[in-house]
Chain A
Amino acid sequence: MKARPVKWDDEHELLARSRAGDREAFSILAQRHQHQVFTLATRLAGDHDLAADISQEALLRAWRGIGSFRGDARFSSWLYRITVNVAWTQLSRRKRTQHAPLEVVDNVAATPSSFDHPELAFESANLRGRLRRALLRLPQRSRVVVVLRDVYGWSHAQIAEALGISVSASKVRLHRARKRLRTMLENAT
């Protein structure tokens, strides 16, 4: 009897093989999702080196825990939750308040000060770069909530579960962070 050919483009098959301990199958899954994981980690951490550490740890945890992935959620969503969890733990461990290097994520050229021209702060062309910079200046734990809610569209219940905080804590943190972002945008230089 001929062995059934492996369908490397079939995520279900890759998952089944990974669960059985097939590293090659897991490697393909990891390659397929690595950029999304790294993007999320970079947005949460605001730092490329730290994001690389977080992504590596998240993929390792995914390998170790793949037996518990039942397939009722999408694999990418499951991987995202692990990434958020790892990022939150690493950021809490570091508890650094220093600002991440701005040029890492933000390649937008310097824009004129909005101090003299407040309307400039909210022009579309300016806004993206300013927002990215403002996000990086937020305290790390506030940034995590804004990124998950406003960039990735998570519900407060999802955020609360992933970070191990209450729903109301998530709401309060988001409210304060948005206010802070807004002030930063208005006063950005």
Chain B
Amino acid sequence: MRLVQSTVCRVSRPLVRLGAVDQKDGNSLVARHAGHCLRCQAERAIEHRIHRTLAAMEGNVIKAPAGLVPGVISSLDASVDYPELEFAKAGERVAIAAAVVGVVSVVAWTLTRRVRSTA
């Protein structure tokens, strides 16, 4: 976890600002200062503890209500709901069929007109 300005002592605040500009020099100065500053060390310890405690929360699983999945599945059953891919495929088939019907009817209509005009 990177130190933020509020979590270091007054002495090291300008160093942190420098770190924002020149990470390599700034961070090494902060590290050197913090090596013998008890305030900074205490701050770091607190920050690390907060960070560790937050990260440990991921492992604490909260049980979902018993009705969650049955509710989802019953709402799938209630609707004619298919995964999008299947739905898209069905949609494509309908579109192709409609296009074929359209082309055939245009050709038929043109042929009929030609036959009539030549007759």
Contacts and interface: CB of A to CB of B under 8 A. Distances in A.
Interface of A: 18-21, 23, 26-27, 30-31, 34-39, 42-43, 48, 52, 55-56, 59-60, 63-68, 105, 122, 124, 127-128, 131-132, 146, 150-153, 175, 178-179, 181-182, 185
Contact of A60 (B64, B72, B85): B72
Given A35-B64, A63-B72, 18 more contacts: A23-B76, A34-B64, A48-B65, A52-B64, A55-B64, A63-B76, A63-B81, A63-B83, A64-B83, A66-B83, A127-B49, A131-B50, A146-B54, A150-B51, A153-B55, A178-B4, A179-B4, A185-B50
21 contacts: A20-B86, A35-B62, A38-B65, A39-B60, A39-B61, A42-B62, A52-B64, A52-B68, A59-B72, A60-B75, A64-B83, A65-B83, A66-B84, A67-B84, A67-B88, A122-B50, A127-B53, A150-B51, A150-B55, A179-B4, A181-B50
Interface of B: 4, 6-7, 46, 49-51, 53-58, 60-65, 68-69, 71-73, 75-77, 81-86, 88
Dominant SS among interface residues on chain A: helix
Contacts of B71: 56
Contacts of A122: 46, 49-50
Contacts, number: 110
